A and B are shown apart, each in its own frame.
Chain A
Amino acid sequence: MGIRSQPTLGHLFDLSQQLREDSEASDASLRHRDRPIGRELKALESRPAAQILSWLRRIRDESDRPSGNRLHRLHGLGLLVLALAGALVGWGAAAVIFNYDGTHPVNVIHVLAFFVFLQLLLLLFFALSTLPAGAIRWVPGMRALRESFELVSPGRLQRLFTRYLPAGYRDTASSLLGKGLAHQRLYGAVDRWITVHSSQVFAVFFHVGALASVLYLVAFSDLAFAWSTTLQLESADLRRWTDLLSAPWASFFPDARPSAELIETTRYFRLQEGSFPAVVSPVGLGGWWPFLVMCMAVYGLLPRLLTWLVARARLRGALRRSFRNLPGTGDLLARLNSELVESHAENPDDDDRMQDTHADEARLATTVGGQRAVIVDWSEAASDHDKASDWLAHAAGLGAEHWHSAGGTRTPEQDQEVISAAAKEQKDSSVLILVKAWEPPMAEILDFLRALRRETKRERMLLVAPVGRDASGALVSADPDDLKVWQQSIGRVADPWLRLLQLGGNA
């Protein structure tokens, strides 16, 4: 079974509504929804309209919003009403023009003027009005002509018709018509071809009604035809016209071609005595009808059938174009036909990925509070202890009592030895731990500080001094951002005699 690719007005409405709803949703959710459908519809990738239509059917099946379907039915109903109206008007027009009350015959000239020449003129206008916009620009007055035709087009009755619909239908119709007005440029072609197509439906049924009316009158009454005109028209002239008009069917339907005798004998003048030419037989009086019926069929109904087919094709084309080019369809097709690539966290909100980093910050010290201190060089923060001592003397007025090295490439056992030694030395002086400011404070330095505290008395000041290095490797004061990080981490030890020492100056 082939996949349908012709969208209806209802589909266009549904698609527009769906895309509008989708514009509010996140791209990720839409891609998750659409990509699996796209994979199933992969065979339609080269037929975007068919693919979108199939997608729409699946999406709308899942929801209970029959608006598009309703609109489609409504449009059908509108066409039916127009067809009925056309048939009625056609029947009525024919009944008037073919009216014979036994006094005045049906004037063949009237019939030809109304059902042939007027129709041909209307067809000409129709043809001109359907020229592409680009062509119209170059024909003076064409735009005005087209607009005026659209104004009087019976297709516009559809709009009027919507006003008298039941509430449910009326809402749907007005939302589409409202959209048509608000987004004239978006739906302009569809809107225009709906009007043109509806007009052609009306016209086709007008001619059907008129023909039916004539056939009815022919069958159930006794019509008398004659011809009369105030124009300077001789029988021979009329003959030429009737021959010309009947040329298409003359070869296979000769009875529908008026003979010279019929034309000559059915001419009458209103000012003549009596109503009809006395010499004409009753059969002769009715001899015109096959010709007139054929004229109405060939010059009225047939072209309208053709214009209806053209209008229908153009409407379908406009629907397809609008359907394919609604804002959002490009994104939709991309969602359907592009792989769904995801690289985000599997469970982004499932844990405590942010630790509580709001522990109290360590208190800040800017001086050592004494002339001497035990120095622990953590992880080779100061590679050259002599230069570092000079710098400490300059930066903090401090004389280093003893240097110990811990962390870095040393083992935990060696760290423990440093702790024991530092605890025993200069018990009244502070212990200064020099650390690399650019390296983050890790658990092992915090473990070291806790262990050191365990082995020293509670009030002994432990100072952690982050230091930086310049390009030559000399010690410099730490970057304030790094200091902040250290201050927060040291604060987690919750030791009131543990401070962060801010050292200033270059070595």
Chain B
Amino acid sequence: MTAQPQFAVVGHPNKGKSSIVSTLSHDDSVQVGRQPGTTTHCHSYPLKVDGEVLYTLIDTPGFQRARSAWAWLQSHASSADRHPEVVRSFLDEHAEGRSFPEEVELLRPIMEGAGILYVVDGSVPYGGEYEAEMEILRWTGQPRLALINPIGEADHVDAWRSALGQYFSVVRVFDAVTADFNKRIELLRAFGQLEEAWRQPLQRAVDSLVADRQRRREAAARAVAETIAEMLTLEVEKTIGVHDDPSPVKKQLLAEYQRRLIELEKRARQAVEKIYDHNTLERTETALAALEAQDLFSAESWRVFGLTRLQLGGLGALGGAAAGGAIDVALGGASFLLGALIGGGVGAAGTIMAAHRLVDVKLLEISLGRRRLVVGPTRNRNFPHVVLGRARLHHALIAGRAHAHRGALAVDEQAKQMLSELSGSERKRLERAFGRVRGGREPSVAARELAETLALTFERDAP
């Protein structure tokens, strides 16, 4: 048995081995594809905590000639106690040959002490062709756990559970694509059931992963808080002559102001995705593209994430122009991302949140007959709540997203429901933090305080 637990993820080709590894190792660079033979060599994914390896996942090639290998083993067997020895002989004899390259590659780490994570697809029917490989794995004598990974929609989990139960001491259903953080942690704990000696390092690994999760959450909260602070203090300005018409410049500055806000939001999102190690998210499909299409100024964003008149009243924020924009858009009851919004024309048609309602434009006299046109900072009370709502949704989707998921993010009504409503006291705390950012001489201090509040909200959104 190796000093630190190792787990060889084995199985038929294309049954989600690499997806399991990708999700458990938080590594979206793991090759996941439909073509069999994507993985041709073993690849180690050690979990290191401050350089110390607590366990290692080994992604292996799939079985290719299991029946022939099994026939070889049977032909060399004498008694059950010699089965592992026969498997070793198999490795010795075929180490250099070309008959069983995949079987040799995948069995080697197992015979060196790795535990077995056998992966099957629970969405396809069980077949007898799996029995040879399960027999081989049984002959290795190593601790074994079977994972039913339902790749498709059909449900054959019961049949699989029944068959696997005859070969494996622990059988679990684990969807690599949808598994959230807690499910991944549960699975790690299940690995500990395989071998008493593995429990302690695996428990340490679990503790470290939970702490690391917290670190990421706080980092995401800081990134969002600093962005909100920047947005709330953003100003764009231009100097014009005393006789110049300010109208075209004003329009230009408002557009620039909007662009900068959108850019800031985008930057924060990228930071959050990086924090959670999602480096290859696709944006080509409708889902995340839709969240981006519904930019900060879209009516839908304000309708969904802005506070209602009543909520603003509760914060003492109503009155004057401050909440003007909010009142205008908070009346609708439409749900987030109706089908029509995803289609074309949303960007333009939906942008009814005119910038002039969001921000004041000041024309200041300066020396030598020149004037300065200043747009911002925004005093709209609803604005930071809209930014925050969008950031919460994005964070919840990213933090809950498994790394094997390579499709686009789904931002829909259901996703919206991922976010629990903020309580009145939470809103007030946030409002105070926004106020400090706006009014304080040191918004970075206020941003830190805001980040601390946000981290708690994020924890509830994506535990």
Contact = CB atoms under 8 A, between A and B. Distances in A.
Q: Are A and B genuine complex partners? A: yes
Interface of A: 27, 35, 39, 133, 185-186, 188-189, 321-322, 325-327, 330-331, 334, 338-348, 351-355, 357, 379-380, 407-413, 436, 438-444, 447, 469, 471, 481, 484-485, 488-489
B30 interface: yes
B159 to A, nearest CB: 12
Nearest to A485: B34
B39 A438 contact: no
A163 B25 CA distance: 56
Interface residues of B, number: 65
Interface stretch (B211-219, B239-247, B343-351): B211-219
B36 interface: yes
B68 A444 contact: yes
B441 A439 contact: no
A339 B212 contact: yes
Contact of B65 (A340, A442, A489): A442
10 contacts: A325-B444, A325-B447, A341-B48, A344-B45, A345-B43, A346-B44, A351-B41, A439-B127, A439-B129, A442-B62
B68 A440 contact: no
B389 to A, nearest CB: 23
B357 interface: no
B29 interface: yes
A353 B65 contact: no
Nearest to A471: B154
Contact of B127 (A186, A340, A408): A408
Contact of A334 (B29, B47, B215, B441): B215
B442 A344 contact: no
A409 B131 contact: yes
Given A334-B218, A345-B44, A409 B49 contact: no
A355 B43 contact: no
B333 interface: no
A347 B25 CA distance: 14
B12 interface: yes
A185 B443 contact: yes
Given A345-B25, A485-B34, 13 more contacts: A39-B50, A133-B440, A321-B445, A330-B448, A339-B208, A340-B51, A345-B45, A346-B46, A351-B40, A355-B38, A408-B127, A436-B127, A489-B35
Contacts of A441: 36
Interface in B65-111: 65-68, 71, 102
A408 B126 CA distance: 11
Contacts of A321: 442, 445
Contacts of B63: 442
A188 B36 contact: no
A355 B219 contact: no
Contact of A408 (B129, B445, B451): B129
Interface in B258-297: 274-275
B303 interface: no
Contacts of A436: 127
A44 B236 CA distance: 41
A134 to B, nearest CB: 9
Contact of B36 (A186, A343, A407, A485): A485
A352 B40 contact: yes
B128 A380 contact: yes
B125 A469 contact: yes
B141 interface: no
A447 B64 CA distance: 10
B442 A188 contact: yes
B68 A412 contact: yes
Contacts of A380: 127-128
B309 to A, nearest CB: 29
A133 B442 CA distance: 11
B208 A341 contact: yes
B47 A442 contact: no
B444 A342 contact: no
B24 interface: yes
B194 interface: no
B431 to A, nearest CB: 18
A35 B64 contact: no
Interface centre among B35, B49, B68 (most CB of A within 10 A): B35
A452 B64 CA distance: 18
Contacts of B45: 343-346
B64 A443 contact: yes
Contacts of B208: 339, 341
Nearest to B13: A440
Contacts of B67: 407, 410-412, 444
A444 B65 contact: yes
A39 B445 CA distance: 26
Contacts of B154: 471
A189 B14 contact: no
B211 A353 contact: no
Interface centre among A186, A341, A344, A413 (most CB of B within 10 A): A341
B441 A133 contact: yes
B27 A343 contact: yes
A185 to B, nearest CB: 6
A346 B29 CA distance: 12
B442 A325 contact: yes
Contacts of B39: 353
Contacts of A326: 444
Contact of A354 (B38, B48, B441): B38
Interface centre among A35, A340, A351, A488 (most CB of B within 10 A): A340
B381 interface: no
A327 B215 contact: no
A412 B64 CA distance: 13
Contacts of A341: 47-49, 208-209, 211-212
A488 to B, nearest CB: 6
A478 to B, nearest CB: 13
Nearest to B209: A341
B50 A345 contact: no
Nearest to A479: B152
Contacts of A189: 441-442
Interface in B45-62: 45-51, 57, 62
Given A339-B50, A380-B128, A442-B63, A357 B29 contact: no
Nearest to B26: A343
B124 A438 contact: yes
B275 to A, nearest CB: 7
Nearest to A351: B41
Contact of B38 (A133, A185, A322, A353): A353
Contacts of B13: 440, 442
Interface in B428-447: 440-445, 447
A342 B57 CA distance: 12
Contacts of A322: 442, 444
A45 B374 CA distance: 43
A340 B131 contact: no
A443 B65 contact: yes
A330 B222 contact: yes
A359 to B, nearest CB: 11
A440 B444 contact: no
A400 B171 CA distance: 41
Contacts of A440: 12-14, 36, 62
A188 B441 contact: yes
